[in-house]
A and B are shown apart, each in its own frame.
Chain A
Amino acid sequence: MADPTDARGPAAGARMLVKRPRGLIAAGLVLASIGGAPASADDACPGLFADGRVPVLTNPKLAVRTVPLCFEAFAVLHSGVTRTPLYAAEHLTRGSVAEARAVARDDSFHEESRLPPDARASLEDYVRSGFDRGHLAPAGDMPTVSAQAESFTLANVVPQNRVLNRGLWADIEEGVRRLATRRGSVFVVTGAIFAGDAVQQIKGGVLVPTQLFKALYDPETGQAGAYLAPNDGSRDWRTVPIDDLTRASGIDVFPGLPAAARTAALTLPEPDASAHSGAHRPRREETWQDWLQREGSRVLRKLVHDVLRAIF
């Protein structure tokens, strides 16, 4: 209350009176936007979506207790039923990927304070759950330090199989960044699928997706397609056309896509573990056989050397 910079006098009092009601109105707006289904002005960020159009939930059950949230470099639709995002949308460009490569820093997973506590996941829910905190919009895509910090909100996280998160999914994410670098501009929607009669639930009521998808749209060519993978350690991924993804997920990720582009899947790169690295690519390609031969002969040389030393 005591603000030393505040000028004393009638004007200061009047300013206080003006300030108070404004705070109340703001609080009311926040509550209204959380309670109601439609997005408020704050939760619209059309630049992150293909043709500025948000995905359409074709399974109406998915829409229950959802809240759209915009962040600097991604947008999510969060579900209070699963306490996870249903999808995260991003627009990757050659420039944004190049900037993301340079970001190196400390961050923190955190609860999403814009969501009510009874709709969001807590840090505690994931601790010793046996699952990784899997980003939908990956930290490695974030072009700025502040965008990267935001990507660690639990509103962008699902319980993900550890092997999948650290293996195949990381490979797919890296492949998508390379694709965006090659093509110049790609819209990406990453999402969670809850399929079957029963699903798994960890602490705090957080539901575990049965599958994950990553859908891509190239605005230059009008082509689209998606990776689809079970949330387990099998690496049993496939690519599907957008129509198939809509059937599997209950989400039409690119509603602006013409019919012809929905049934033919864009050829997506094979997820490749060797594609990983930070800013730099390997100088030359080395095959498995090269490596095996080199390491094999090194071990053999050392063995012979050691044996000779032991004898003499």
Chain B
Amino acid sequence: MAQDKRDGRTRPSGAGQDRFEPFADDASVRSIGALSFENGTDRIVLHGSLDLTRDEAGLAQARRLRETLEAIVRALEAGDLPEAVAEAPEPKPKTVRNPFA
């Protein structure tokens, strides 16, 4: 019932679409411990940190890390890559009057 789109640009916000597929969207985030992989169509950003401990939990996390990095490398190898993606924000932020001043 709810109109979940604005200008038809975005996908519905419903749950269940959270699978982390490298470079497939600008929304998904994979967390491993306090380390997160923020997906993007032209860059994946890593935040935070992670202790890989020498125990069962550490092994599970290390495997998850490897699986995530392998998927990223596979996605990069499969693509026709430009030399570099754009660095500068587009468009630049505008300066507007502060509505609360």
Contact = CB atoms under 8 A, between A and B. Distances in A.
Interface residues of B, number: 57
A123 B10 contact: yes
Interface in B1-34: 1-7, 9-10, 12-13, 15, 17-20, 25-34
Given A113-B4, A194-B100, A250-B100, A124 B51 contact: no
A288 B36 CA distance: 26
A104 B96 contact: no
Interface string A109-137: 11111000100101110111111110000
Max count, chain A CB within 10 A of own CB: residue among B7, B41, B61, B100: B100
Interface string A158-197: 0000000110001000100000000000000000001111
Interface of A: 27, 59, 61-62, 64, 81-82, 103-113, 117, 120, 122-124, 126-133, 139-140, 148-149, 152-153, 165-166, 170, 174, 194-204, 207-208, 250, 276-280, 282
Interface of B: 1-7, 9-10, 12-13, 15, 17-20, 25-36, 38, 40-42, 45, 47-51, 53, 57, 61, 64, 86, 88-101
Given A277-B34, A279-B51, 8 more contacts: A103-B31, A105-B30, A117-B6, A120-B6, A129-B89, A200-B93, A201-B93, A201-B94
10 contacts: A105-B31, A110-B27, A111-B13, A117-B6, A152-B29, A166-B47, A196-B98, A196-B101, A276-B49, A278-B49
